[in-house]
Amino acid sequence: MKHIYQQGTNPSAPVLLLLHGTGGTERDLLPLAGLIDPSASVLSVRGNILENGMPRFFRRLAEGVFDEEDLVFRTQELNDFLDQAAQQYGFDRRNIVAVGYSNGANIAGSLLFHYKDALRGAILHHPMVPIRSVPLPDLSGVPVFIGAGRNDPICAPRETEELAQLLGGAGAQVTVHWEAYGHQLTQTEVQTAAAWYKQLFPQ
- Positions annotated as catalytic residues are 102, 152, 183
By CB under 6 A, tell whether 95 contacts ligand MLT.
Answer: no
Rg (CA), the chain: 15
Which residue among 96, 108, 112, 128 contacts ligand MLT (CB under 6 A)? 128
By beta-carbon proximity to ligand MLT, the closer residue of 64 and 141 is 64
**Smallest separation (angstroms) from ligand MLT to the CB of 32:** 17
By CB under 6 A, tell whether 75 contacts ligand MLT.
Answer: no
By CB under 6 A, tell whether 99 contacts ligand MLT.
Answer: no
Q: How many CA atoms lie within 13 A of 202 on its CB side?
A: 0
By CB under 6 A, tell whether 192 contacts ligand MLT.
Answer: no
Contacts of 110 (CB under 8 A, 6+ apart): 58, 71, 72, 74, 75, 130, 131
**φ and ψ of 181, to 5 deg:** -100, -160
End-to-end Cα separation, the chain, in angstroms: 29
Show contacts with ligand MLT in window 21-50 (CB under 6 A): 21-22
Instruction: Output DSSP code: residue 40.
Output: S
* Interacting residues toward ligand MLT by CB under 6 A: 21-22, 60, 102-103, 106, 128, 154
